[in-house]
Amino acid sequence: MRWYGGLTEIEERLSQRGFLYFIPKKTALRRVGHSERLTLVPAVPPYVFIRAAYDELDAFQKPLRLLLYSKTLHPVDGHTTITVGEREMDDFIRVATQNEQRVRIHQADELDLRQGARVRICGGVLNGVEGVMLRLQGVRDRRLVVSVPGIMSVSTPVDRTYVQLLEG
């Protein structure tokens, strides 16, 4: 879901309605009055991931002018939509919420995932996460990349001892 306007208002409304949601965030230096402070801000500003049935989501967003469109697999009312599987979203969230200094967020078309090897992490804080191992330009080590297809990817370095190569 994309939004324009107040993030706090969106989060409050989602919480009040009991929706499970995730907003990828990063720490950024922001000016507040005469001083600067580190603040959590959306890492990819237009996106909020919400776990909900389409009907529930549609009823929620209609009265709000801040929410312009959602994404799901089938076009409904002119909307382009994508449904993300529960496991894929869980893996994405686990990687995105790791040590934010080492996590990078990439736009959908920024990485060619066909060049990497499909892997599963066996151990450590990312135990069970599946993704693609890639060498990214300007980065020393290979990184685990987990994607929400067509939207964005997150990458983080992983200890090679935890990496299991998957076939296919």
pTM listed for this prediction: 0.72
User: Which pLDDT value is given to residue 76?
Assistant: 47
pLDDT > 90? residue 78: no
3-state SS class at 38? strand
Q: Cβ contacts of residue 52 below 8 Å, gap of 6+?
A: 19, 60
Q: Cβ contacts of residue 56 below 8 Å, gap of 6+?
A: 19
For residue 71, what pLDDT band results from cuts at 50, 70 and 90? very low
* Contact indicator for 38, 27 with CB cutoff of 8 Å: yes
pLDDT > 70? residue 80: no
Judged on CB neighbours under 10 Å (0-12, 13-18, 19+), 146 is buried
More confident residue, 34 or 47: 34
User: Which pLDDT value is given to residue 130?
Assistant: 94
pLDDT > 70? residue 64: no
